[in-house]
Structures are given as C-alpha cells and as structure tokens.
Amino acid sequence: MTTSTTKMPYRHLGRSGLKVSVLSFGSWVSFGTQMDVDQAEACMVEARNHGVNFFDNAEAYAGGKSEELMGEIIERQGWARHSFVVSSKFFWGIHGPDAENAFNTLNRKYLLEAIDPSLERLKLDHLDLIFCHRADPDTPIEETVRAMHEIVSSGKALYWGTSEWSADEVRAAYEIADRHGWHKPVMEQPQYNMFNRDKVETEFNRLYRDIDLGLTTWSPLASGLLTGKYIDGIPEDSRAALEGYEWLADQMTDESQNNVVKDLAAVASDLDCTLAQLALAWCASNPNVSTVITGASRPEQVTENMKAIDVLEKLNDDVLNRIEAILAR
C-alpha cells in the first residue's frame, strides 16, 4: 500500500498527559449503516497501520450498533489495551423518545445507567474518553458534572469532556468541578472545518489559555463538501444520498460554498494533494486542535486521508494566507 511518508504526530489532549494521534478515526454514520464488521475492520486496521491511536464512537451511533462493531473488531484484532484510545458519547439515548429519563438528557440516572451497556457493547472494562454529547438545558450542570466525576472515579472512564457545548457551559462545568474538587472536563468535541470556524477560533479562545482545553474536532471535510465531490450534484453512493440525510443534501449543493471549493482545488493542485487532504491538514494546522476525527467507508479512503500528514508539512504561512483569502471571499 501507499503510505504517508511523514510519521504520524501525537499531541497531548489538552492539559492531560494523554497523547492522541493528530488524525483519528470515527464511526459516525458509516458503522452499522454503510459498513458491516469486515468493512469497518479493514478501515480501522488501515488507520492503525498509519499510526492512528484514537477511535471515536457514541452510544447513539446506529442505535448502539456502532459500538458493537468497534468492540468486535478490537476483540478480533487483539490489540493491547494500552495501545489505543476509545471514546463514547452520551445524551441522545438509544431507547427512543418514550424513555423519559434516558432520551436527550444528561441526568444522573441516565449517565450512570448508560455507561455499563456501552462498555459491554465495546467489550471493554473502561472508556478512555467519555463525552456529554450535547448540553442539557433541563438538567443542572452540577448534577451532570458530579455524575461524570463519579464515572471517572469508578474507573469506567479515564477523562471526560463535552461535545458542542458553548464556551460558557464548558467554563461553568469546569468551575463547578474545581470548586468541589471533582474531575474536571478535559476536552471538547466541536465541529471544525473551513466553513465552520467561529467556535474553535473565536469562542473558545479564552478556554485554551485559562483551562488548556483540548479539542477532538469532527467533520473536517464538512460532511464531504470539501472533497469536491458535490460540485456537480449528489453522487448516488454518497452520505448525502442516504435516507434521512436530506438536510445534508441541501447543504452540499450550496453554490457559493462549492465555488469556494473550486478555488481551494487550485491550492490543492499546487501542493500535489487532494482537496480532502488539504482540508484535513488545514484543520490539523491549528495548534489548539488535539486530534482531527476522520471518517471513511473503504480502507483506500483511509490511506488517502492519512496522506494529509504530508500536506501538513507544506502548510507554511504563504499557503495558509492564500487559503484564508479564498475563505474570506
């Protein structure tokens, strides 16, 4: 296989001592919907062969099926537990809207009862990272922070964090934990790509300085828009063509954004890389980003994504300024 010529770099996850690969691999949408266990295994193995050590998941992905597939793959591969990092996220639940205390919530009951089934599906005795998948305006933050503290204290997870919380919500959680001597949130998982920048580049700025917040960013390719494959419409085999993802199809056909993608293609051409590799490298060039979560439905896609590490080495100030000028139009 063709591999990246640059060794995978690793970064600390925020203020923690844990190191994660700059490019990681996530299972959203693909595991259990687009891929069976053999396809998923081929992708995870390919990612690991390129130095990826962080694999992202969530309870709600495919209603728990994604965790089951990842757990089966890890067991089949027999990877040493110290050699990989696994996450899961909690909020949506998997029991449907009739489950009043286990649907769209971060209440203590739900969180403490959700962790064990998640571990069973993943065939693990602990998660490395556990996320509150969204903020819950109906549950006091202190209740959620205490529950996450207890999960970490029990050894069922090692570090906890948030996903798509506001800066004010993250700071409130941190200060509550600090006041009580509880385990503090270490990381946030926001969307970050060339079309979604404000939260990472502006809103969170004080948090990097004040609490050394780590980031595990998702959707670096803007759900595929930054690959260029939607410039001429929606391919039948794309994520945007899946039933239930009509909202995504609308985003992918935005003319102004696709014009930006066309201009970015010229930059990628000059760097002798693909648009996807350029977009991934651009995300990784932000020093506040601990890891960029990638996705793929074929091992060949994983191989191509990993070449973004080579592109990262080429992103000097001149190239970054050229990209910035295109994005500012």
CATH code where residue 79 lies? 3.20.20.100
Q: Look at residue 129 and tell me if it is in a domain.
A: yes
Q: Where do the H-state alpha helices sit in 160-244?
A: 167-180, 198, 205-211
Q: Look at residue 8 and tell me if it is in a domain.
A: no
The predicted structure's pLDDT at residue 178: 98
Distance of CA 115 to the CA centre of its chain: 19
Q: Look at residue 5 and tell me if it is in a domain.
A: no
Give the chain's domain count: 1
Q: Look at residue 192 and tell me if it is in a domain.
A: yes
Q: Look at residue 165 and tell me if it is in a domain.
A: yes
Instruction: Indicate the SS3 state at residue 9.
Output: coil
Q: pLDDT by residue (tens digit) across 117-131?
A: 999 999 999 999 999
Question: Would you name the residues annotated as active-site residues?
Answer: 61
pTM value?
A: 0.93
Taking the C-alpha atoms of residue 27 and residue 297, their distance in angstroms, rounded to an integer, is: 9
CA dihedral of 286, 292, 297, 299, whole degrees rounded to 10: 90
The predicted structure's pLDDT at residue 245: 67
Picking from 288, 279, 274, the residue whose alpha carbon sits closest to that of residue 326 is: 279
Q: Look at residue 134 and tell me if it is in a domain.
A: yes
The predicted structure's pLDDT at residue 263: 96
- Pick the range with the lowest mean pLDDT from 126-135, 139-148, 222-231, 288-297: 222-231
How many Cα neighbours within 13 Å face the side chain of 229? 16
303 or 34, which is more confident? Answer: 303
Q: pLDDT by residue (tens digit) across 61-105?
A: 999 999 999 999 999 999 999 999 999 999 999 999 999 999 999
Q: What percent of the chain has pLDDT over 90?
A: 85
CB 193 within 8 A of CB 220: yes
Average pLDDT, the chain: 94
Domain that holds residue 255: 16-327
The predicted structure's pLDDT at residue 2: 46
Q: Look at residue 25 and tell me if it is in a domain.
A: yes
Q: Where are the beta strands (DSSP E) in 163-289?
A: 187-188, 214-217
Q: Look at residue 6 and tell me if it is in a domain.
A: no
Phi, psi of 67 (to 5 degrees): -65, -40
Q: pLDDT by residue (tens digit) across 226-284?
A: 998 877 666 666 666 666 766 666 766 777 888 899 999 999 999 999 999 999 999 99
Cβ of 123: how many Cβ atoms within 10 Å? 15
CB 67 within 8 A of CB 35: no
Instruction: Indicate the SS3 state at residue 103.
Output: coil
Taking the C-alpha atoms of residue 30 and residue 302, their distance in angstroms, rounded to an integer, is: 13
